[in-house]
Chain A
Amino acid sequence: MGQRTPLYDLHLALGAKLVDFNGWDMPLHYGSQVDEHHQVRNDCGVFDVSHMTIIDVEGTGAEAFLRYLLANDVARLDTPGKALYSTLLNDHGGVLDDLVVYRLAHGYRLVVNAATRARDLAWLEARSEGFEVRWRERDDLAMLAIQGPKARARSVELVSSSRASLIDGLQPFQGFADGDWFIARTGYTGEDGVEIILPAGEAAGFFNELVGAGIAPIGLGARDTLRLEAGLNLYGQDLDEHVSPLSASLEWSIAWTPAERDFVGRAALEAQRQAGDLPKRVGLVLEERGVLRAHQVVRINGIGEGEITSGSFSPTLGKSIALARVPAATGERAEVEIRGKWYPVRVVRPAFVRHGKPLI
């Protein structure tokens, strides 16, 4: 038996097909993964993402510590309420994890991946010497993601008036506390929406209210196809400790300036950037029938080979898409080997769908 979120019994009651997800028993879907995908693209749905690890960082040295620990710069969060995405790197510039950091009224809140929880906590410990900082894992909290074009409009109807006006006023990548809830306009689907972090004991009741109001429960299966269409990396598939953020379309999340800010992995990244020989991340589109999958080989005529890191069927586009790591010189065409046969694929910028609209 795996770990269970506070919503486990509710998932069962809603007919979820449960799967093991990094040691957690999580809903894969509640009937049809494809229907749930469309539900989020066209309307809205709610995900239980309580398996994710929430870490609150405090202390007079919290800012200095996170500026040293993260490739993005928390000094950019100049007021409480702002959030940013960052990678957590090792000394070789490999990605140990990717995360969102929110600036709270006092300190910071990190939301990191479930699979990397233990290693992240050990890393914080190992790198915190000399900083006046402490942190606390918030396993007393649950987390729900309400995502889709109607997510904010629908959820304001179901919360207190102060939380409703908070949701109404949120800019993208902003998050604020209201009582013991924390509400942010973030997500992992390429759609608008909010993520709500709330006491574990309140999660099932609120989830039930959302579902009762017609906001469909969505499993992790649709979460994967939604994030793939949005071109968002999945840690453990598209990113790992051997991958540089420079090979994962994440250069935007590295704060190179100010130049005097030293952060873990900076020297390695600068050397990589200087050398300029890293592979790059691209999107692939299969025009024929078939499904691209992780680890299939990508062949680029006259240039070399790469590998698919995530692939699936895109419900929005009705064809298969993938993220792949390929030689930097790769142009517009490539081939992928599926069960011993080579299929032509189109090479595109790695974002396929945003806000319900195809980008390719």
Chain B
Amino acid sequence: MSEIRADLRYAASHEWARLEADGTVTVGISDHAQEALGDVVFIELPAVGKQLSAGQEAGVVESVKAASDIYAPLGGEVVAVNETLGDSPEAVNGDPYGSWFFKLKPSDPAELEKLLDAGAYQAALDAEG
């Protein structure tokens, strides 16, 4: 059973998003996503300064098994990326909610409200089977 944190928002494509006090949004992948991917061995992050729209490809997670795209859960400019994932991509398996991928300065903060809350994400996972 994978962990879903109540204080986060989720995209149906299994990214989590957290609104920070400074108005930026931190993005990572859910516990369910890391479990489905298996051992993560490489992460390709977006460039700082890149403008992303909601649902746009933002990077790639490579596990031993396969490569999976990660998507921007909402639109905005990439203001920071988690460089430590370059040397220790496996941290995503151990601590998916601590291992953030990138931070966005949202172009429309209201987009955050369109993402799934914990209950709706759980329902989406249940529906996936």
- A residues engaging B (CB < 8 A)? 17, 28-29, 32-34, 221, 225, 289-291, 293, 312-313, 315, 320, 339
Distance between B47 CB and nearest chain A CB, rounded to angstroms: 13
Residue of A nearest to B86 (CB): A289
The listed residue (B42, B64, B90) touching A225 by CB distance below 8 A is: B64
- Pair A34/B39 contact, Cβ less than 8 Å: yes
Residues of B within 8 A of A291 (CB): 41-42, 62, 67
Residues of B within 8 A of A32 (CB): 38-39, 93
Count B interface residues, CB 8 Å: 14
Residues of A within 8 A of B86 (CB): 289
Q: A313-B41, A320-B41 are in contact. List 4 more A-B contacts (CB 8 A).
A: A32-B38, A34-B41, A312-B64, A339-B60
Chain A interface, DSSP helix/strand/loop, else mixed: mixed
- B residues engaging A (CB < 8 A)? 38-39, 41-42, 44, 60, 62, 64-67, 86, 90, 93
Residues of A within 8 A of B93 (CB): 32
A33-B65 CB under 8 A given contacts A289-B86, A339-B60: yes
Residue of A nearest to B43 (CB): A289
Residues of A within 8 A of B60 (CB): 339
A33-B62 CB under 8 A given contacts A289-B86, A291-B67: no
- Pair B42/A29 contact, Cβ less than 8 Å: no
CA distance A34 to B37 in the complex (A): 12
Distance between A31 CB and nearest chain B CB, rounded to angstroms: 10
**Which of B39, B66, B86 has the largest count of A CB atoms less than 10 A from its CB?**
B39
CA distance A33 to B66 in the complex (A): 13
Residue of B nearest to A288 (CB): B42
Residues of A within 8 A of B90 (CB): 34
Residues of B within 8 A of A34 (CB): 39, 41, 64, 90
Residues of B within 8 A of A29 (CB): 38
Residue of A nearest to B36 (CB): A17
CA distance A221 to B38 in the complex (A): 10
**Which of A33, A221, A289, A320 has the largest count of B CB atoms less than 10 A from its CB?**
A289
Q: List 23 A-B contacts (CB under 8 A).
A: A28-B65, A32-B39, A33-B38, A33-B39, A33-B65, A34-B39, A34-B64, A221-B38, A221-B64, A225-B64, A289-B42, A290-B42, A290-B44, A291-B41, A291-B42, A291-B67, A312-B64, A313-B41, A313-B42, A313-B64, A320-B41, A339-B60, A339-B67
Residues of B within 8 A of A17 (CB): 38
- Pair A313/B62 contact, Cβ less than 8 Å: yes
| 3 nearest A-B pairs in the assembled complex, by CB-CB distance | A313-B41, A291-B62, A34-B39
- Pair A33/B64 contact, Cβ less than 8 Å: yes
Distance between A20 CB and nearest chain B CB, rounded to angstroms: 13
CA distance A289 to B67 in the complex (A): 13
CA distance A221 to B41 in the complex (A): 14
